[in-house]
Amino acid sequence: MPIHKMKKFLFAFVIFAIAFVILLVSIFDSSAITYTFTNTPPQPFGETKDSKVDYVLPYAGRVLPDSPFWGLKALRDKIWFGVTTSPLRRAQIALLFADKRLVMVEELFRKGKPDYAMATLLKGERYLPIAMEEEKIARGRGIDTDEFLVTLATAALKHKEISGYLVELAPENVKPLIISNETYADKAYEDAKNALNSRGLTAPKNPFDGD
């Protein structure tokens, strides 16, 4: 076999192998029992607390950032986002990544792994401004993003709320960092609210105004 054909074959084989492994991770990830945050914050806490934001976070999967398979899952996410061409769909995917990572953060704190939890929180919340930027691109192309803006605004409020619960789970030395990281959720809410208001639409009410 000529060398150039062999190189093409090897390249195709490597791509196939990577895709196959990513598929296995995806199947493993999606085969777990689904659970979500409902309107009750993460436990354990001393008492049950009523949620102020009606938004259910998605199931994050079994593969968390402390897993040896996390690199493959993160690669899968990057490929998924990268091959998506619709800006509205990219915005939805970015929000999904932010939501899932927030659920992972809570689980990692429960497992006593604050380093993994904080790294995941800091990276995960950065998907909120990405979602907003992609929404702006979609809006600029004349795509109707009203429904997504409402979803994003509500999700941002949920992130703000869960952040408050995470402070109670976290070690003392990382609590200030969690609080300062709320700026991503705050800005995402304000940007989504302003975009809705500019269209004559009402944004979800912020229950944390004045906190």
Give 52-110 pLDDT, tens digit per residue. Answer: 999 999 999 999 999 999 999 999 999 999 999 999 999 999 999 999 999 999 999 99
Q: What is the pLDDT of residue 144?
A: 97
- In the predicted model, what is the mean pLDDT of the chain? 84
List the structure tokens of 52: 């102020």
Tracing tokens 């409402």 back to the chain, one arrives at 150
Give 113-170 pLDDT, tens digit per residue. Answer: 999 999 999 999 999 999 999 999 999 999 999 999 999 999 999 999 999 999 999 9
Which three-class secondary structure string do you get for 48-63?
A: CCCCCCCCCCCCCCCC
The neighbour count for residue 108, using CB atoms within 10 Å, is: 23
Query: Which are the contacts of 197, defined by CB distance < 8 A and separation ≥ 6?
Result: 203
List the structure tokens of 122: 């800091």
Confidence of residue 18 (pLDDT cuts 50, 70, 90): low
| Helices marked H in the chain | 3-30, 70-83, 87-110, 114-124, 127-140, 146-169, 175-180, 183-198
Residue 12, classified by CB atoms within 10 Å of its CB into exposed (0-12), middle (13-18) or buried (19+), is: exposed
- Residue 209 has φ and ψ, to the nearest 5°, of -60, 125
Give the SS3 label for residue 44.
Answer: coil
